[in-house]
Structure 1
């Protein structure tokens, strides 16, 4: 579904992506891991066309991401943002139905509200949450709202940016289970970036490690612990000593 070939991106003298090559098969969940500042978010922004790579090719379903109808292209995606990125001035249901209230996916307000409430139920929130504002919700509830918004328009591809950041271990586990259930249920292609190894093991079919601007290792999540790659081994076990230099 998603193919990156020799993708490079630099910001001035900072060469973030130095030849990223990666395949994300249709209907599978790919998780990209790597240290802070290694370019995980930049890679996702390049796929979405929010950042233009300096060289290389990126295709979604066999088509170059720079070609075709931009609105139709973006309509295929859902996104769960790291910080939730909910609109404080809008009630929860309007946050969830944001894409259904405007643009090419526009629906009548009553229909959009009904769909939003259905998606809220799917992520474990009751209908009475629909008319609350984000500030009235806990962090875990806000994350559920963000997940409901990500799936509201039934996207083919869902991106998850650090889906458990700021959550306690129990709520992180709940969100991970929800993500896995929903991705399987929808048959969606999923791509996540995270530092949380419990998330990796819960939601990934395959894992790719981004280090020094390239994909250092990629393979099934079942092979994480016996990969034999020193970079991956150091990262997943959180060791200070190894080929990855810790910033002191």
Structure 2
């Protein structure tokens, strides 16, 4: 469904992507791992068209993501942001229904609210949360609201940016399980960027490791531990010694 062919991106003198090749089949969950500053977010933004590659091609269903109707293209995506990115001045249900209250996906206000409450239920939040403001919620609840917003418009593709950052181990497990259940239920294509190996094992069908500006290894999550790739092995084990130099 999503394909990247020899994608390059440089910022000034910093070459971030140096020829990325990656294929994400429809209806599968791809998790991209790699250290901080390796270009995972740049890769995600490139697929969304928020960053334009210097060279190479990114396609969605075989079509160049930089061409065509931009609104129609973005309407196919849902996004769970790393920091939640909820709007402080809007109530929870208005946050969840944000895309349903404007633009090409606009629904009547009452209908949008009903959809928002149903999505909140799906992520384990009661209807009485709907009229609260984000500041009244815990970090874990805010993350669930973000997940409800990501799925509110029934997207074909969902991106998860560090979905468990800032959460305790138990809440991280809850969010991981929710993501996996929802992606399977919806039949969505998922792309996650994370350095949390617990999330990788819970969410992924396939894993790709980004290092040195290229995909160092990719394959099914079931083959990850026996990959034989020294970069991947070091990353999984969290060892300071190995081909990946620790920044001090």
TM over 0.5: yes
Which stretches of structure 1, 4 residues or more, deviate above 3 A after TM superposition? none
Separation (CA, whole Å) in 1 of partners of 2:40 and 2:200 = 14
How far residue 62 of structure 1 moved from its aligned partner, in angstroms, is: 1.0
Shift of 1:61: 1.0
In 2, Cα distance between the equivalents of 1:47 and 1:167?
Answer: 27
Q: TM-score, normalised by structure 2?
A: 1.00
Partner of 1:176: 176
1:86-130: CA deviations, max 9, x gaps?
A: 000000000000000001000010000000000000000000000
Distance 1:157 1:48 in 2: 11
Determine the structure 1 residue equivalent to 2:229.
229
Aligned equivalents of 1:119 and 1:247: distance in 2?
41
SS of the counterpart of 1:174? helix
Q: Could you tell me which residue of structure 2 aligns to residue 127 of structure 1? A: 127
Alignment of 1:16-165 (within 5 A): 16-165=16-165
Distance 1:99 1:90 in 2: 13
SS in 2 for 1:231: helix
Deviation at 1:67, TM superposition (A): 1.2
**Cα separation, 2, equivalents of 1:216 and 1:135:** 41
2-structure distance, mates of 1:173, 1:48? 27
C-alpha distance in 2, partners of 1:118/1:63? Answer: 33
Instruction: Give the SS at the match of 1:8.
Output: strand
The answer for the alignment partner of 1:215 in structure 2 is 215
Q: TM-score, normalised by structure 1?
A: 1.00
Q: What is the alpha-carbon root mean square deviation over aligned residues?
A: 0.3
Provide the secondary structure at the position in 2 that maps to 1:107. Answer: coil
**Are residues 1:185 and 2:158 paired?**
no
- Deviation of the 1:237 alpha carbon: 0.5
Please state how far the C-alpha of 1:165 moved relative to its aligned partner. 0.2
Q: Does 1:8 align with 2:4?
A: no
Distance in 2 between the 1:236 and 1:86 partners?
A: 32
Shift of residue 7 of structure 1? 0.2
Structure 2 unaligned residues grouped into runs of 5+? none
| Whole-Å separation in 2 of the counterparts to 1:67 and 1:93 | 33
> Structure 2 CA distance, aligned partners of 1:206 and 1:182?
17
More displaced 10-residue stretch of structure 1: 59-68 or 180-189: 59-68
Q: CA deviation at 1:75?
A: 0.1
Count, aligned residues: 248
Q: After superposition, what is the alpha-carbon deviation per residue over 1:119-149, rounded to whole angstroms, capped at 9, x for unaligned?
A: 0000000000000000000000000000000
Q: By how many angstroms is 1:66 displaced?
A: 1.0
Q: Secondary structure of the residue that 2:140 maps to in structure 1? A: helix
SS at match of 1:32: strand
**What SS does structure 1 have at the residue aligned with 2:182?**
helix
Secondary structure of 1:224's aligned partner: helix
